[in-house]
Amino acid sequence: MPIFLDATDPDFETAFAGLLAAKREDSPDVDDVVAGIIADVRHRGDAAVLELTAKFDRLELTAETMRFSPAEIEQYCAQVSDAERAALELAATRIRAYHTRQIPEDQSWTDDAGATLGWRWSAVAAAGLYVPGGLASYPSSVLMNAIPAKVAGVARLAICVPTPDGVVNPLVLLAAKIAGVDEVYRIGGAQAIAALAYGTEAIAPVDKITGPGNAFVAAAKRRVFGKVGIDMIAGPSEILVIADKDNDPDWIALDLLSQAEHDESAQSLLITDDAAFGRAVAAAVDKRLETLERRAIAGASWRDFGAVITVADLEQAAALSNRIAPEHLELCVADPESLSEKCVHAGAIFLGAFTPEAIGDYIGGPNHVLPTARSARFSSGLSVLDFMKRTTLAQMTPAALGAIGAAAECLANSESLEAHGLSVRARLDRLNEG
Amino acid sequence: MPIFLDATDPDFETAFAGLLAAKREDSPDVDDVVAGIIADVRHRGDAAVLELTAKFDRLELTAETMRFSPAEIEQYCAQVSDAERAALELAATRIRAYHTRQIPEDQSWTDDAGATLGWRWSAVAAAGLYVPGGLASYPSSVLMNAIPAKVAGVARLAICVPTPDGVVNPLVLLAAKIAGVDEVYRIGGAQAIAALAYGTEAIAPVDKITGPGNAFVAAAKRRVFGKVGIDMIAGPSEILVIADKDNDPDWIALDLLSQAEHDESAQSLLITDDAAFGRAVAAAVDKRLETLERRAIAGASWRDFGAVITVADLEQAAALSNRIAPEHLELCVADPESLSEKCVHAGAIFLGAFTPEAIGDYIGGPNHVLPTARSARFSSGLSVLDFMKRTTLAQMTPAALGAIGAAAECLANSESLEAHGLSVRARLDRLNEG
């Protein structure tokens, strides 16, 4: 049973605070192991990567066979059904269209003092994308990571995907091909992250690494951060649905379960202004759990971390949503637009009963890599900007330096940074001579 | 003596690679101490913060006197000279004008399928800014961190600045006042970071923490990352000057020294297409080092990490600059605009001989918090975006879901995520019934 809360109860605040603070994930401490793997790859390069792949993935490779050849990629792609291929292509087209609008503009202007100022955006030169192997090897994640990188203009995009016992997911290779990925390596774990960050004989180093992974991958990403850029370290997935009584309880139940089925640590929350509707949704969840393929996982998540919260009105729902700062927020209410304007801390918002969250996972267009664990308070989903950086530009004319230079000199002196002040003063003196 | 390299020498590549790989900073490992401090502040709140402040800053405070009162701030601000006040106000005006142009735009559009898509930017609700005490207590850094936050729309901005033995820098308080900072606490170290991240009885928690600090502060920021957002962990400062022979060697020497005087670990590099000019600059550095106040620091930096590199032409200079990815890049050449277009990996570019880097530290307008240690390959200087986050929006009409829903269902099934597919299918079935 999930917990049932009523926001008008006197002890609601305590229960809600407990829900916010609940620790849903116990990451094993693999930091020492990962440190050793990274040092080994830095020291021995390909030899270390190949040994570790033989050990962890039971797969004997060479520096040559570590990378999928174009012919192999074609062979695997040919195994994908026409329906799946068409779905991936539609998804890629829609994701590309959405992300193309994120390309930022350069600016340059000259101000009153005569200073020309501005900035210029440029792409990261090379990026690496980690794709988990096995069950969590999602082709949709390949699209969601690779397309923003290519839209940003990343010239070289490499994927690492482990293939334990040699098992390959053809859809992952097709997604990589559709997204325009340049290199695909069949290696995984901390050794793949180390190879991407530091390079080996066979794998050139990259500047930025993104993509989800297990505890070893996450620990390796944290360790190489600084040497390369990384995306966020994602936690278990979450959804908050705000729904009024004019919804089909079964639809809402399926939306809650589509988070719950990801992971036993996932969290599905419902806020409604109608207690009877909340109970109807919970009953619909139980009914669906009788037959759902992943009922063991989804059932555990719903039992341990699910909640149904009844509120007095939708104002209160928005206020609670902002405290939760959910990764996914579904607004199944009569006027979702106006409610969405009140929900300012959320990774992605899905408006109206015909926008199930699953649309956003695959084909809506926005990215499905989103901030978890309340981090939507301060961070955003993956975007084109994650694969670009901004260089600021400033150019003074002699007159501009004459107008503002003395103030810089004054502040430099107040900070006891004499050379800073002198570098301005030397030029000002020349102007005064002229 | 700095090293002198010639890019046409056969062993240049080895020497240059060594320069890129040089480790300039040895951070003491204070992680265990910091973990203990954070745990103590989480557990005991104000009591722990006050005890640690008494111990490290030799300052007895109470929960009330921990925060500067408005009257105290006014008293300290009154001590600032008119010239310094005017310089700070000019700097603030120019920094605000520059950063206001960074405010990103929301977007919303309806595509061919009938899906309404877009995103909305919003400000982080509360931010904390760390300001070091003592010699490195720079009012310019207060402006550079606080103004972007306030331009972003951060409603609550708190500063922590330690005041060892009770010594306060009035310019820091004036800069905070000018920038519109809401709360100023006289606490520092890992205890201040912990208080900002987790809150105490007297200090409400924030969502994002920025600002430089010593090894304890840096370690604490790394540890609270995830609970709150943080900015980059800055390394020692760097400058690369690309200059042709038509420059005053003394000006270039002062620009190199204005980085070197920051820190013995700072790095100042000159690339020139004229070997004699390079020697003249080195001679000018030596001459200035005879009298510079901070000659011990600047001299050590120049001796240990400085370099003068002669290249065949400016094309080669741009190529080397992109490998260095400098924090600060000064282009003192005849056509700085066209050279700047070739320098794609740099935090900030200063164009022309009348734009010494020190202008950017104080008053140019762009931010002086910039990526160090080659991280300009993948990251940008501090900006308004660091205090905002983006929520993606998607709304399907029944017709839009009818057009694209089946593809989402197909991909969900291929990833064995049944509830995802069912959440779409249940709606599609309703449409087909209708």
Task: Encode pLDDT of B40-88 as tens digits.
Answer: 999 999 999 999 999 999 999 999 999 999 999 999 999 999 999 999 9
Mean pLDDT (chain B) is: 96
Extract the tokens encoding B41. 């502040």
- Burial call B97-120: b when 16+ CB within 10 Å, e when fewer: bbbeebebeeeeeeeebbbbbbbb
Distances (CA, A) of B344 to A120, A424, B239, B376, B377: 9, 26, 15, 9, 9
Segment B404-413 shows an average pLDDT of 97
In a domain, A316, yes or no: yes
Q: A225 with A86: CB under 8 angstroms?
A: no
Q: Which amino acid is at B31?
A: D
Do A165 and A246 lie in one domain? The reply is no
Extract the tokens encoding A21. 């603070």
Do A245 and A198 lie in one domain? The reply is no
Do B168 and B274 lie in one domain? The reply is no
Query: Which residues of chain B does A281 touch, with a Cβ-Cβ cutoff of 8 Å?
Result: none
Residue B380 to residue A396, Cβ atoms within 8 A = no
Neighbours of B73 (CB within 10 A): 18
Last residue in a domain, options B166, B195, B230: B230
Q: B378 with A229: CB under 8 angstroms?
A: yes
Start-to-end CA span in chain A (Å): 83
Extract the tokens encoding B104. 């990103």
Our separate counts of H helices and E strands in chain B read 17, 14
Of B87, B96, B72, the closest CA to residue B170 belongs to B72
Domain CATH for A331: 3.40.50.1980
- Residue B117: in which H helix or E strand, if any? strand B116-123
Nearest residue in A to B223, CA atom? A222
Residue B344 to residue A395, Cβ atoms within 8 A = no
B270: region left, alpha or beta (phi > 0 left; psi from -120 to 50 alpha): beta
Query: Which residues of chain B does A390 touch, with a Cβ-Cβ cutoff of 8 Å?
Result: 380-381, 383
The predicted structure's pLDDT at residue A411 = 97
The predicted structure's pLDDT at residue A433 = 87
Rounded to whole angstroms, how far apart are CA atoms A265 and A22?
A: 11
Please report, rounded to a whole number, the percentage of residues in chain B having pLDDT higher than 90.
92
In a domain, A170, yes or no: yes
Do A325 and A417 lie in one domain? The reply is no
Of A127, A389, A208, the closest CA to residue B376 belongs to A389
Q: Which amino acid is at B258?
A: S
Report the DSSP beta bridge partners of residue A158: A128, A183
The predicted structure's pLDDT at residue B135 = 64
Q: How far is residue A274 CA from its own chain's centroid? A: 34
User: What is the residue-wise DSSP string for A60-82?
Assistant: ---TTTTBPPHHHHHHHHTTS-H
Q: Return the residue in A329, A378, A379 with the most chain B beta carbons within 10 A, the one to mutate for interface testing.
A: A378
What angle, 0 to 180 degrees and rounded to 10, lies between the N-to-C axes of helices B82-100 and B139-152?
40
Segment B87-116 shows an average pLDDT of 98
In a domain, B90, yes or no: no
- Residue B148: in which H helix or E strand, if any? helix B139-152
Query: Which residues of chain B does A83 touch, with a Cβ-Cβ cutoff of 8 Å?
Result: 410
Extract the tokens encoding B328. 């600060």
Q: A308 with A2: CB under 8 angstroms?
A: yes
In a domain, B3, yes or no: no
Rounded to whole angstroms, how far apart are CA atoms B399 and A305?
A: 34
Do B175 and B298 lie in one domain? The reply is no
* Chain B nearest C-alpha distance from A83 (Å): 7
Do B239 and B226 lie in one domain? The reply is no
In a domain, B71, yes or no: yes
Cα angle vertex A35, ends A34, A37, to 5°? Answer: 60
Rounded to whole angstroms, how far apart are CA atoms A120 and B351?
A: 14
Instruction: Give, as one character, the DSSP assignment of residue A383.
Output: -
User: What is the residue-wise DSSP string for A211-237?
Assistant: ----HHHHHHHHHHBTTBEE-----S-
Last residue in a domain, options B168, B200, B230: B230
Rounded to whole angstroms, how far apart are CA atoms A149 and A166?
A: 28
Residue A346 to residue B391, Cβ atoms within 8 A = yes
Do B343 and B280 lie in one domain? The reply is yes
In a domain, B7, yes or no: no
Residue B423 to residue A119, Cβ atoms within 8 A = no
- 3-state class of B310 per DSSP? strand
Residue B407 to residue A345, Cβ atoms within 8 A = no
Do A124 and A221 lie in one domain? The reply is yes
In a domain, B201, yes or no: yes
B264 a catalytic residue? no
Of B351, B367, B369, B370, the closest CA to residue B95 belongs to B367
Instruction: Give, as one character, the DSSP assignment of residue B106.
Output: P
- Residue A116: in which H helix or E strand, if any? strand A116-123
Last residue in a domain, options A164, A196, A230: A230
The residue assigned the tokens 């330690």 is: B162
Rounded to whole angstroms, how far apart are CA atoms A415 and B144?
A: 15
Contacts for A278-284 with beta carbons within 8 Å, 24 or more apart? A278/A4, A278/A308, A278/A309, A278/A310, A279/A4, A279/A308, A280/A249, A281/A243, A281/A249, A281/A252, A281/A253, A281/A256, A281/A308, A282/A2, A282/A4, A282/A253, A282/A308, A283/A249, A284/A249, A284/A250, A284/A252, A284/A253
Instruction: Give, as one character, the DSSP assignment of residue B103.
Output: P
In a domain, B2, yes or no: no
- Report the half-sphere exposure of A170 (CA within 13 A, side-chain side): 13
pLDDT by position in tens, chain A (length 434): 899 999 999 999 999 999 988 878 777 789 899 999 999 999 999 999 999 999 999 999 999 999 999 999 999 999 999 999 999 999 999 999 999 999 999 999 999 999 999 999 999 999 999 999 876 789 999 999 999 999 999 999 999 999 999 999 999 999 999 999 999 999 999 999 999 999 999 999 999 999 999 899 999 998 999 899 999 877 889 999 999 999 999 999 999 999 999 999 999 999 999 999 999 999 999 999 999 999 999 999 999 999 999 999 999 999 999 999 999 999 999 999 999 999 999 999 999 999 999 999 999 999 999 999 999 999 999 999 999 999 999 999 999 999 999 999 999 999 999 999 999 999 999 998 86
A313 is in an annotated binding site: no
Task: Encode pLDDT of B305-351 as tens digits.
Answer: 999 999 999 999 999 999 999 999 999 999 999 999 999 999 999 99
- 3-state class of A305 per DSSP? helix
Residue B417 to residue A262, Cβ atoms within 8 A = yes
User: What is the residue-wise DSSP string for A311-359?
Assistant: -SSHHHHHHHHHHH--SEEEEESS-HHHHHHH--S-SEEEESTT--HHH
The ipTM is 0.96
**pLDDT range class, residue B234, cuts 50, 70, 90:** confident
Number of domains comprising chain B: 3
Report the DSSP beta bridge partners of residue A6: A310
* Chain B nearest C-alpha distance from A94 (Å): 9
What dihedral do alpha carbons A397, A403, A408, A409 form, nearest 10°?
100
- Report the half-sphere exposure of A393 (CA within 13 A, side-chain side): 23
Rounded to whole angstroms, how far apart are CA atoms A76 and A71?
A: 9
Do A58 and A128 lie in one domain? The reply is yes
Do A211 and A315 lie in one domain? The reply is no
Strand order in the sheet with A267-272: A3-6, A307-310, A267-272, A238-243, A328-332, A348-351, B388-395, B116-123, B107-110
- Residues of A with a catalytic annotation lie at 327-328
* Chain B nearest C-alpha distance from A40 (Å): 18
Q: Give me the residue from A288, A351, A417 closest to B395, CB to CB.
A: A351
Residue A377 to residue B336, Cβ atoms within 8 A = no
Rounded to whole angstroms, how far apart are CA atoms A431 and A410?
A: 18
Query: Which residues of chain A does B86 touch, with a Cβ-Cβ cutoff of 8 Å?
Result: 407
Cα angle vertex B17, ends B14, B22, to 5°? Answer: 125
Q: Give me the residue from B97, B392, B395 closest to A367, CB to CB.
A: B392
Q: B240 with B345: CB under 8 angstroms?
A: no
B433 a catalytic residue? no
Extract the tokens encoding B382. 């501090």
Cα angle vertex A113, ends A107, A117, to 5°? Answer: 20
Rounded to whole angstroms, how far apart are CA atoms A268 and B100?
A: 39
Segment B411-431 shows an average pLDDT of 97
B261, B327, B330, B357: the active-site residue: B327
Do B220 and B270 lie in one domain? The reply is no
The predicted structure's pLDDT at residue A384 = 98
Residue B365 domain boundaries: 235-378
Nearest residue in A to B336, CA atom? A395
B262 is in an annotated binding site: yes
Q: Rounded to the nearest 5°, which phi and psi values hold at B93?
A: -60, -45
What is the torsional sign of CA B271, B274, B280, B283? positive
Residue A408 to residue B362, Cβ atoms within 8 A = yes
Do A260 and A127 lie in one domain? The reply is no
* Contacts across the A-B interface (CB distance below 8 Å): 364
